[in-house]
Amino acid sequence: MWTTARAPSLAEMEAMAHEVFERLPRGFRALCEGVILRVDDFPTDEVLEEMKAESEFDLLGLFQGVGLPFRSNNDIAQLPNMVWLYRRPILDYWADHEETLGHIVRHVLIHEIGHHFGLSDDDMEAIEAQVD
């Protein structure tokens, strides 16, 4: 079995992320309307610089946009909110830890979506516990 095992492609990891998203609590998902979920191998150089990352492997995911608590009816139209998952850093993390790949993807997805809502780490842990 291990001789045929391989790392998931970008498309496979994006499909995994969408499957994980569909298993999150319904109320949590409902609040995510309009959030775009994307997977890329690495963050862009601009993101790495903005986040003061020392390596392209430092970020597993990123929320880009204006979180719900920070929006106003007076806001001018903005780009849609996006959640990025970075495949290669996630795979690197997976190789060094005992967690399953699905668990890591779920954790990163909940954490990044949590930024959209302005949730605390405790709130995000409670959401993860609901999925377990």
Residue 44 CA to residue 127 CA, distance in Å, equals 29
CA angle (34 as vertex; 117, 122 as ends), nearest 5: 20
Total-model pTM: 0.86
What is the phi-psi region of residue 123: left when phi exceeds 0, alpha when psi lies from -120 to 50, beta otherwise? alpha
Q: Are 113 and 122 in contact (CB under 8 A)?
A: no
Return the CATH architecture of domain 8-68+78-131. Answer: 2-Layer Sandwich (3.30)
Q: What does pLDDT average to over the chain?
A: 87
Q: Where are the domains of the chain?
A: 8-68+78-131
pLDDT digits 0-9 by tens, 66-124: 666 555 556 565 668 899 999 999 999 999 999 999 999 999 999 998 877 778 888 88
